[in-house]
Amino acid sequence: MTKEFGVPPVVFPSGGNPTVAAGGNTQQRRVPTAPFQPPRPSNSGIPFMSFEVGSAAATTSGPIGGGTGPIGGVANFDDEEPLLDELGIHPDQIWKKTKSILNPFRANPTFHKDSDLSGPIFLYLSFCLFQLLAGKIQFGVILGWIVVSSIFLYVVFNMLAGRHGNLDLHTCTSVIGYCLLPVVILSAISLFVPQNGALRSGIAGVFVIWATRACTNLMVAVADGGEEHRGLIAYACFLIYTLFSLLVVF
């Protein structure tokens, strides 16, 4: 014998949320919403802001920095300047300027009118290296003396030239740096010469005169107003390179 139980039917509202009666107040369950998504621009000029791989690949149809070319192609660097030229370092000009100092009687001022500091920095490092091989760590001393010497000769030359003086500090530093070549050669030779001897001092005097003559000729040639004061300019140059030679002799 079977029994039949009368179960009342369950009726759900049209919104899908069952209602629960509690004290006469009905409370509905909140429908979950989708997470926040930023609005997508219709015509964005930046490809990666559209979040579409296809549109980004279509818009970047060339090398970085603009231009036209196939997608994924390699940029053409044939028309690019060499890296040293972009940095302002010209090895051919440095070699010509250095070679002009090798003749102490006739220094060519044509190349030195276009001043640069690449060659002087190379000679400075060479001088410091030879001094280091001699057991003397003088990087800061040599650099400080180059700066002080450049300012000293710049002030002296423009005071002597007066209104006609057009020597700038950059050109003055460049000339002093290139004329440091005889002192660099002296530093290399002194590695094989006994210290505290008359021979060492005599060789140093020859190289100081060489550097003084080359620097004086270049200073008078690259700037105006120094021809009539050649003797005083030569005396200032002699003091500068004597100071550098003392680092080598002692």
This prediction's pTM: 0.67
User: Contact, 212 vs 238, CB < 8 A?
Assistant: yes
pLDDT per residue as tens digits for the range 179-232: 999 999 999 999 998 887 788 999 999 999 999 999 999 999 888 877 888 999
Helices (H), 2-90: 53-59, 83-86
pLDDT per residue as tens digits for the range 63-121: 555 444 444 455 566 667 777 777 777 788 899 899 889 887 777 778 888 889 999 99
Domain layout of the chain by residue ranges:
115-249
User: Contact, 104 vs 210, CB < 8 A?
Assistant: yes
Reduced to 3 states (helix: H, G, I; strand: E, B; else coil), residue 102 is coil
Report the sign of the C-alpha dihedral through residues 131, 133, 138, 144, in that order. Answer: positive
What's the start-to-end Cα distance of the chain, in Å? 129
User: Contact, 150 vs 213, CB < 8 A?
Assistant: no
pLDDT per residue as tens digits for the range 153-187: 999 999 988 877 788 999 999 999 999 999 999 99
